[in-house]
Amino acid sequence: MNRRSFLSTLTALLGAGGASAATLSLGGQSNTEHRIELLRSPIAGFQYHDGETVWSQLRVADALQLIREADNVHDPRAVRVEWQGHILGYVPRLDNATISYLLDHQQNLQAYITALEESRNPWQRVTFTVHLAT
């Protein structure tokens, strides 16, 4: 899905409250709950927070919490990523505009761990995905 069609679909879903998405099929899968993948990314700042402490407990498909930090002095669009109350890091600054906007407008976003890799590079340790549930 290219950016233009993604934004058109997203706008239509948000404007219609998701009601028009009854036949939406993503990735060749058809579900009763429809999800639109908004972001697949590494977690920014993983090395500065609780990531190493909880590394051995993290599993692919674990749910993550997205917490909006509108008062963050470094980035007014900051979105913190947590796992079971532990701060893992942030949605990368270059990718957080849409996610922060949707959180500010109380949209149903779901985030999950999609890959774990034992790497010395903190940008390769945890990959997560954010979906908009419709």
> Other CB atoms closer than 10 Å to residue 32's CB: what's the count?
5
- What confidence tier does 134 reach under pLDDT thresholds 50, 70, 90? confident
Domain architecture of the chain: domains with CATH: 34-133 (3.30.70.2330)
Q: What is the pLDDT of residues 18-48, one digit of tens each?
A: 433 333 434 455 556 788 999 999 999 999 9
Residue 18 has a pLDDT of 42
DSSP code string of 35-102: EEEEEEEEPBTGGGTTHHHHGGG--TT-EEEEEEETT-SS-TTEEEEEETTEEEEE--GGGHHHHHHH
Q: Judge residue 27's burial from the number of C-beta atoms within 10 Å of its C-beta, 0-12 exposed, 13-18 middle, 19 or more buried.
A: exposed
- Residue 126 pLDDT more than 80? yes
- What confidence tier does 130 reach under pLDDT thresholds 50, 70, 90? very high
- What confidence tier does 61 reach under pLDDT thresholds 50, 70, 90? very high
